[in-house]
Amino acid sequence: MSCKILLVEDDKEIAQLTQMYLEAEGYQVTAIGDGSEALPMIQNMKPDLVILDLMLPGKSGIDICRDAREFYSGMIIILTAAEDEMSEVSLLKLGADDYLMKPVRGHILVARIEALQRRYQHQSAIDKHGSLYDAFGIVINSDRQTAYYQQKPLNLTNSEFEILQVLVEHSGTTVSREHCCRLARGIEYCSTNRSIDMRVSGLRKKLIQAEVHSLTIKTIRNQGYRLVGNQS
CB 158 within 8 Å of CB 147: no
Q: How far is the first Cα of the chain from the last one, in angstroms, to the nearest whole number?
A: 48
Which of 18-22, 83-87, 110-114 is predicted with the least confidence, judged by mean pLDDT?
83-87
Q: Which helix (H) or strand (E) holds 123?
A: helix 106-129
User: In this model, does residue 84 exceed pLDDT 80?
Assistant: no
Which of 110-114, 128-132, 196-200 is predicted with the least confidence, judged by mean pLDDT?
128-132
pLDDT band at 232 (very low <50, low <70, confident <90, very high): very low
User: In this model, does residue 209 exceed pLDDT 50?
Assistant: yes
Model confidence pLDDT, tens digit, residues 96-109: 888 888 888 899 99
pLDDT at residue 5 in the model:
97
pLDDT band at 123 (very low <50, low <70, confident <90, very high): low
CB 64 within 8 Å of CB 70: no
* Strands 28-32, 49-53: pairing kind: unpaired
210-215, long-range: CB within 8 Å, 24+ apart, which pairs? 210/149, 210/152, 210/154, 210/155, 212/137, 212/138, 212/149, 212/154, 214/136, 214/137, 214/138, 215/135, 215/136, 215/137, 215/138
Which of 52-56, 60-64, 84-88, 102-106 is predicted with the least confidence, judged by mean pLDDT?
84-88
In this predicted model, which residue has the larger pLDDT, 122 or 35?
A: 35
pLDDT band at 216 (very low <50, low <70, confident <90, very high): very high
Model confidence pLDDT, tens digit, residues 127-137: 554 567 788 88
User: In this model, does residue 1 exceed pLDDT 80?
Assistant: no
pTM of the model: 0.56
Q: Which helix (H) or strand (E) holds 94?
A: helix 88-94
Average pLDDT over residues 91-95: 75
Domains, the chain, in order of start with CATH, read 4-123 (3.40.50.2300), 130-229 (1.10.10.10)
